[in-house]
A and B are shown apart, each in its own frame.
Chain A
Amino acid sequence: MTENESPRIGVYLCRCGGNIGDVVDLQAVADKLKEDKNITVNIQDYLCSSAGQDKIKNDIEKGKIDRVVIGSCSPKLHLETFRGMAKTAGLNPNLLEITNIREQASWVHDRDSKESVNSKVLGLIKGAAARMGSIEPLTPLTKELVDRTLVVGAGIAGITTALELADSHEVILIEKLPYLGGHMIGLSKTFPTLDCSQCILTPKMVAVHNNPRITMFTQTEVADVQGSPGDYSITLKHSPRYVDIKKCINCGACARKCTAGAIFLPFAQAVPQAYMIDMSKCKNCGVCVKVCPRDAINLEAKEETSTISVGAVAIATGFEPIDPSFIEEYNYPSPNILTAIDFEEMLSAKSKTGMRLQKADGTFPNRVAFVLCAGSRDFTGKGRKHCSKVCCIYSQKQAQLVKKMKEDAEAWIFYIDMRSAGRRFEEFYHHTQEKGVNYVRGKVAEIIPKTDGTLMIQYEDTNLGRKGREIFDMVVLCPALIPSKGTKEIADKLGVSLGDDGFIEEKHVKLEPVNTLNQSVFAAGCVLGPKDIHDSVTEGISAAHKVSQFLGKGMILIPPEKPQIFECNGCGECVKACPYNALALDGGKAVLSPLACTGCGICVPACPIKGIEIRNFTRGQLKAQLQGILSEAPGVLVFIDPYAYAAADIAGVNRKQYSSLIRFVSVPSIHILDADVVNAAFEYGATGVMLIEGTTDEKLTSRSDDLYKKLKKDTRKHKKPLRYSHIETAQYEKLTDLLNVFASQAGAKAEKRGRKEKGEKPEEQED
């Protein structure tokens, strides 16, 4: 295409079966669009199908079009698909954009009239086409990847990821606790085969320890993350063990001399095989230091930090049980009411009772009850909504263990639904029934500790519709499994979003289950939701494969939408504004280092002479887009960053309805905006403007308030509402509530203004 030739834009609309076509009259939209002679329009049933893609490809190859605007599902799903197609057809991928008319239109406007949704869709496409008219073809930047991976968490998922990766890549494996193994090392037997947990795990732990490509740190956490995908500089925080793991030969001389019991081996099979000191018990007498033949003990050890350079991160931080004490009627904690995790530990390698099941008084419990769904499947806000998945099967396993230890002991399982989906699980259920375990369908209503140390359970047998009471020696609560402490912190540090259940959000629930929205961060195991060992291992292997695939490219593509400095007077304001040190003054002019730049656009409004623009998000392009969007009907413009955009998509998937007056404008970050663009929005007829930010990057969010205040001041003359909100990806419900409230406020204000203009009601209060 030459400069003076006008662009030929091909608009392709997808009916998505009926998902879009049943709601939006695409033919009417197409007819309107065709009024612009630069635009050709085509409608397909499934644009993502090979037939749909071939149509676009043919049109490009025949030279009918040289720019593409697609109206379909979210770009998060298919932008890469279509841009890949464009590339093979010989079109620069940047010259293809997707307008989201499914998640953010056809799925969320049930309450609005068809006309209103139609005019929104038409406006959005017109806006996209208007912006597309001046989009530059750009080539992505490339950066070399660091071929090293950090695996966070050394439970079974992390261990598997590390071992699988270590075949061909360097791995750093960190663990918060003083030993490897996570929850699995605290399990007794594993269902459905009843093989011993430590017997299958210990060899793997040893393999990790011995693998030359794996560097292992225990008592270590991520303190800070710097850099960008593919090239991270991560600071690790190491808590002191007071015993040098490399020197300790596990002779036990120290422990024999210690009078306080402060120095010990966590448990016999612990990896690393080294003693550790519990400083809360240590009397600092120094005897251990003297007796250690290897000089391995240092009581003065302090917390240390170290910095590592990695290209990818795999999060495998697992789960923890919810504290059931919030369930008042279960009277936890009380003697002999324990969680299933405690029950497991009692019979595991970590056992403190010599692997004997015993009550608080040391005797064997003859009657044991298992109470399922303690804090799970709870929609009241007190517990967790999700099903913890493994409890149905492990409680049956535990019941079998009770029966195995003492044949005439009684084991009762109180359940709501016995969920035994999965290979070999129904058979396991059947087998447990054969062992003589009692099943009661009914959620336990109350657990009442008696004065004689027994526990009374009150319940309804829902199969019979009759209330019942039973006395037990021990009650095992099967608690909801929730993300482990610190999941949010590490997710925030790595720019990964969480679901509203607190678990890490997958890139695609079904198709990309171990990828996250950050292309260099992966996840495996229970940090993605409760699951059993089998599934954790499967995910560990998957994550290792995905990391390997990512690192194998050697290079990372960096989006080319970076600032371009047209004009510079050397004032240095942009250098001061840049939170990533990507700008510097060189010879009196600002110079960009593109690899450090995240493309946030904060330098754009910072430049006093408007000499900086983000490529393909220039003021001119944005304004053209806004004008197009508002050309059909006035609406509320919502500038939204990619993280909050994901929230809007989730709202769409969940069919959370909001006003069709809402029109999203996707921007790399809201900090790209200045009064110039927002004023333009108001001039073109926006009844209100919202800035919605979803990033958790503090370097940006800490400046949002100032941005908002400044914009508010500078757009005051329009007397139209402007709002800022921070919405994380998981908060899609909050987002839709907010959109609805704002849309109605903006509408009311517009109406009031309309009346005022007619001279009916002169007084109005502005803040």
Chain B
Amino acid sequence: MKKEPILPESRDTTFRDQVLKTHVGEKIPTCIQCGICAGSCPVSHEMDYSPRELVRMVQLGLKKEVLSSNTIWICTTCFSCSVRCPRGIHPTELMETLKPIAIAEGIINKNAKFDNVFSSVIKNNGRASEFLLISRYSMTEPRMIKQLPFGLEMMAKGKLPLSIDRMENTRELEAIFKLGEKGESKIENKEIKEKDREKDSDKEKEKEPQETKMQENENEKVEAKK
């Protein structure tokens, strides 16, 4: 990986302050780079930057690298880092804070795309279909064509069933989603009011958390279904 030098022009203080102002951002300046987060993380080796590095980059305001990194999407939200951090920084929640910012900035990498496809599949069918997931994801990510032979092989062995397993009554599911969206917007409104009272925060930010929370919600629902 090519490493760019850190220059004044690569540091975005507005972005840094935006993150530091959030509830989870408050403690970020106190990081001592001990690495217990990265050492505890089950997937940090797959990340572009470990949670420790991400916190450092937020401190510096390296907006582009932070938001386009796969780190924020790969996090499995196991919370090991948050539980163990001696400074009380919650990297897990930091990821959740950064995702909507990335979306709002239009930075959609393959991990973000995958998340999107996954939740829409659930929304439509109520169940995860590997075939749908892979095929739709492949459409957004042309490089997946390389995986085609492997996919065909799996199909031949019956490991990738074409039939789509649907939930019996998707109407209920839709109702749940709607309810969830309604609830989220309620919570969101409350949060916005609180934020307004505290300080006049950026208008853009208000919409962002909604989307992530929707995704989270969907994921939760999938689990509940199982």
Contact = CB atoms under 8 A, between A and B. Distances in A.
A416 interface: yes
Interface string B21-38: 000000000101111111
A444 B44 CA distance: 15
B33 A462 contact: yes
Contacts of A380: 85-88
A666 B53 CA distance: 51
Contact of B39 (A373, A383, A446): A446
Nearest to A445: B39
B35 A462 contact: yes
Q: Give the residue among A378, A381, A443 with the most B Cβ atoms within 10 A.
A: A443
B205 interface: no
**Interface residues of B: mostly helix, strand, loop or mixed?**
helix
Contacts of A465: 38, 50, 52-53
B86 A462 contact: no
Interface string B74-87: 00000010001111
B34 A467 contact: no
B36 A379 contact: no
A383 B84 CA distance: 11
A395 to B, nearest CB: 16
B129 interface: no
Contacts of A379: 30, 86-88
B86 A377 contact: yes
Nearest to B40: A445
A711 B41 CA distance: 58
Q: Give the residue among A379, A458, A461 with the most B Cβ atoms within 10 A.
A: A379
Nearest to A462: B35
Given A444-B36, A467-B38, A378 B50 contact: no
Interface in B45-98: 45, 50, 52-53, 80, 84-88
Q: Give the residue among A378, A460, A462 with the most B Cβ atoms within 10 A.
A: A460
A603 B30 CA distance: 51
A467 B45 contact: yes
Nearest to A461: B35
A461 B37 CA distance: 12
Interface in A406-449: 416-417, 441-446
A416 B84 contact: no
Interface in A437-484: 441-446, 458-462, 465-467
A120 B36 CA distance: 48
B112 to A, nearest CB: 23
B86 A460 contact: no
Contacts of B52: 460, 462, 465
Q: Give the residue among B37, B38, B80, B87 with the most A Cβ atoms within 10 A.
A: B38
A153 to B, nearest CB: 30
A462 B84 contact: no
A513 B84 CA distance: 35
A383 B37 CA distance: 17
B39 A460 contact: yes
A329 interface: yes
A383 B34 CA distance: 15
Nearest to A375: B86
Interface residues on A, range: 20 to 34
A442 B50 contact: no
A459 B53 contact: no
A706 B209 CA distance: 52
A329 B87 contact: no
B86 A373 contact: yes
Given A462-B34, A462-B52, A442 B39 contact: yes
Contact of A445 (B32, B53, B84): B84
Contacts of B34: 373, 416, 442-443, 462
Contacts, number: 71
Interface string A368-408: 00000100011111010000000000000000000000000
A443 B53 contact: no
Contacts of A416: 32-34
Contacts of A462: 33-35, 38, 52
Nearest to A457: B39
B87 A460 contact: no
Contact of A460 (B30, B32, B38, B80): B38
A378 B89 CA distance: 11
B36 A443 contact: yes
A444 B39 contact: yes
Contact of B35 (A381, A443, A446): A443
Given A329-B84, A380-B88, A460-B35, A446 B40 contact: yes
A462 B39 CA distance: 9
Contacts of B32: 377, 416-417
Interface in A234-289: none
Contacts of A444: 36, 39
B50 A443 contact: no
A466 B52 CA distance: 11
A447 to B, nearest CB: 11
A478 to B, nearest CB: 14
A333 to B, nearest CB: 19
A133 B32 CA distance: 55
A477 to B, nearest CB: 14
Nearest to A459: B39
B40 A329 contact: yes
Interface in A282-318: none
Contacts of A373: 34, 86
B180 to A, nearest CB: 32
A147 B32 CA distance: 50
Nearest to B81: A445
B86 A378 contact: yes
Contacts of B84: 329, 445
Contacts of A466: 45
Contacts of B85: 380
A379 B38 CA distance: 19
B59 to A, nearest CB: 15
Given A442-B35, A445-B36, A467-B39, A460 B44 contact: yes
A383 B80 CA distance: 17
A467 B32 CA distance: 17
Contacts of B50: 460, 465, 467
B23 to A, nearest CB: 16
A466 B49 CA distance: 10
A9 to B, nearest CB: 45
Contacts of B38: 445, 460, 462, 465, 467
A458 B52 CA distance: 15
A380 B53 CA distance: 21
A369 to B, nearest CB: 13
Contacts of B86: 373, 377-380, 383, 443
Nearest to B39: A445
Interface in A346-377: 373, 377
Contacts of B33: 416, 462
A441 B32 CA distance: 11
Nearest to A440: B35
Contact of A458 (B30, B39, B87, B88): B39
Interface string B1-38: 00000000000000000000000000000101111111
B87 A459 contact: no
Kindly list the 3 A-B residue pairs having the minimum CB-CB distance in the complex, ordered from nearest. Answer: A445-B39, A443-B34, A460-B35
Interface of B: 30, 32-41, 44-45, 50, 52-53, 80, 84-88
22 contacts: A329-B84, A373-B34, A379-B87, A379-B88, A380-B85, A383-B86, A417-B32, A441-B35, A442-B39, A443-B36, A444-B36, A445-B80, A445-B84, A459-B35, A460-B37, A460-B38, A460-B44, A461-B35, A462-B35, A462-B38, A462-B52, A467-B38
Interface of A: 329, 373, 377-381, 383, 416-417, 441-446, 458-462, 465-467
Given A373-B86, A458-B40, 4 more contacts: A416-B34, A445-B38, A460-B35, A461-B35
